[in-house]
Structure 1
Amino acid sequence: MYKIISNVYDILLYLPLISIRLKVKKIIKTLGVKSIIDICCGTGNQLKMLKRSGYDDLTGIDLSENMLKVANRGKYKLKCQQQDATKLSFKDDNFDLGIISLALHEKPLEVQNLVLNEAKRVIKKDGYLIVVDYMFDKHAFILGVLEIFIVEAMVGGDHFRNFRKFIKNGGLESITKDKFEKINEYKFHFGGTRCFVLKNIK
């Protein structure tokens, strides 16, 4: 799928995601961190935004070779590598902060947990993880729920099946609550998309 859409991914998702990316950049500035890893970084747009803002110690990983080709293009040179997010090559306690943005809902539950476990391992004690993904609770308005559901249904296949299971299991809250301490939460897309700021308590 990503081989097909990698070259148009940023065009299609620029407007739906720009407010989230700007918020993530603002959050990172308040945390005073230096070394940052974007897990499942896709085309690297969040990292490029951080690079333009003066951050230098940036690493991105993604499994898709095509998405990484796009990430490594342009004037802002990034360290984006092809890696499996469930088996990162980095040593323990290596980064001040990690980012996982809209990458968990499309994966089976066991893979979601492996990705989060690896993030926990490579992020320093008392470091931070910013996770953006879906949650359809009482704070999510029907308009946001419908918009997200339609987009995910259009993707279809295993992606959509995993998304439905992810929502049924409780969404973002359900998979992060036992691994990290939530210190802040922000809502987007009429509450259907959440940004959790988590602390890595080991």
Structure 2
Amino acid sequence: MSLSQNLNRQILLKLLIASVLMFGFGYALVPLYKALCKVTGINVVTSKNDYGVRAYSPNKVGNTQVDYSRKVTVEFDSNSRGPFNFHPAKNFLEVHPGEMTEIVYEVSNKLDRPVQAQAIPSYAPKSATEFFTKLECFCFQQQTLAAYETRKMPVVFVIDAGLPDDVKTITLSYTFFEVGVPPAAPGATTPKSKALI
């Protein structure tokens, strides 16, 4: 075997190893991203399927049973960046773990043109995130609001009965922002919608 054939085989082997490693890295990105989100408490955009399946999976025993012996206060918060009035219908609800609950958020487009927007949820305390299951949410997809349109948007959720006993209050917060708008300059203030009682 000549030197050039040996060199070609070495290069081919290296390319094959690099291809396998790149494929493995690409395949591992999704679980790495989920692990990073769990560690940092970031829950940017979630899939309706993930939450719907998790809430009523037949493999999770007792997941649909309501625990009437305890109540959890769920507080609702809203923030907006852009031409919106955005707020929940109520500031808080008291719910039983395992009970399906609905809250409605209302948004109004203040511009004379259509606006495309997205909502990003966050939770406090961070430890409650895995026990808060949204079955229906306007945050699952982008929203297109017509000029001066006002829309009521429901969120249907279940607090898992496995929520630790020391968690008495959970805050669900949404930031609603116009898609495609560059971020605000450092130090700039952004309009904030206050929740109505």
Q: Pick the TM interval, shorter chain.
A: under 0.3
Q: Which one has the largest radius of gyration? A: 2
Q: Comparing both structures, which one devotes a greater share of its residues to helix? A: 1
Q: Which has the higher contact order (CA 8 A, sep 6+)?
A: 2
TM (norm. structure 2) is 0.22
